[in-house]
Amino acid sequence: MTAQIKKILPLFLLFFFLSPIGVWAQSALGLSAIPPRLEIKLNPGETVTKEIKVRNESKTEKVISTSIKDFIVTDDVGTPIQINNQDLDENDNRWAAASWIQVSPSKIKLKAGETKTLMLTVIAPENALPGGHYSMVIHSPQNDTFVSETGSYIETNVGTLVYITIPGDIKEKASIKKFSAPSFSEYGPIDFKTTVTNLSDIHITPAGAITITDALGLKVAQLNLNPTNIFPNTSRELTNTLQHKLLFGRFKAQINATYGTSGQLLTATLFFWVIPYKLIALLLVIVLIVILIIKMRSKQTPSAPETPQVEELEKELADLKKKYQDRH
């Protein structure tokens, strides 16, 4: 398999990275890794053993080979890219953990519908730096390939992302690089994009919400952030949507999120306008037309004749006047 194909391969693991622990990651050919993400905490020099599982969801028998690879994240959507140790520079090697991990057995045979357990052992070096260290356990079925749109043969692999935390003096620092929304809209929905940069020694998962208030300070909506892992020295773009369609006026959006072990705060504010100007113009035209119709009808309608009741009142008034004059 060429180096280019190896770089494409980890794209299939994106689903694992985004899924919570306990969800089965399944390939196009019916192979599942359980769990898709494994978090382990241990001290330098310690050894920890965990169980992971592989399930054959297909109707055919498969022979599975397991390997351990380091990975990095370079984009803003969190795609893990598989790399080899010889390709790591000094900065990338800071987060590498593949050399710490062993999986037994490394090759198994799975009948259709069968699940087998593997033992994953992590041995932390004595000089392991505090913070996060990451690797992926890849399960590759033999002779399972398909042709991509570019014509390349790509193996269908599944696996588990392993997050290892070494306690100690861990730097936790992050910032909101960008918080944006359309400054003027006619209608909703309104999309908010938040780019968070992680400058920590470990991955972070910001938790919080975007609060929308109107010109009077009244809350319009609260948009909760989706749990998203952000690796060290990377940025992720988070997207939230205000689903309200009909809005009017100037609004304030403020994001407040916490991250890290001590709940550090991320905050940013923006203002935006929503004015349905076409609807307003249409209503004004309708009102103007109604006023013109009323005026035209008032000019064309003749004066209404006096009613009998009015005539009787006038006769009584004349009689009273006559009686008053006779008395004088």
Q: Write the single-letter amino acid at 262.
A: S
| CB neighbours of residue 119 within 10 Å | 12
Enter the tokens of residue 33.
């890794």
Enter the tokens of residue 112.
């259709």
Residue with tokens 């999120």: 257
Chain centre to alpha carbon of residue 178: 15
What domains are defined for the chain?
3-166 (2.60.40.10), 174-274 (2.60.40.10)
Tens place of pLDDT per residue across the chain (328 aa) = 344 434 433 433 333 333 333 333 455 458 899 999 999 999 999 999 999 999 999 888 999 999 999 987 766 776 777 776 555 555 557 889 999 999 999 999 999 999 999 999 999 999 999 999 999 999 988 866 544 455 444 456 788 999 999 999 999 999 999 999 999 999 999 999 999 999 999 999 999 999 999 999 999 999 999 999 999 989 999 999 999 999 999 999 999 999 998 899 999 999 999 999 888 888 888 888 888 878 877 776 555 554 554 455 455 545 544 554 554 4
Kindly list the distances between the CA atom of residue 279 and the CA atoms of 31, 214, 283, in Å, as whole numbers in the listed order: 53, 20, 6
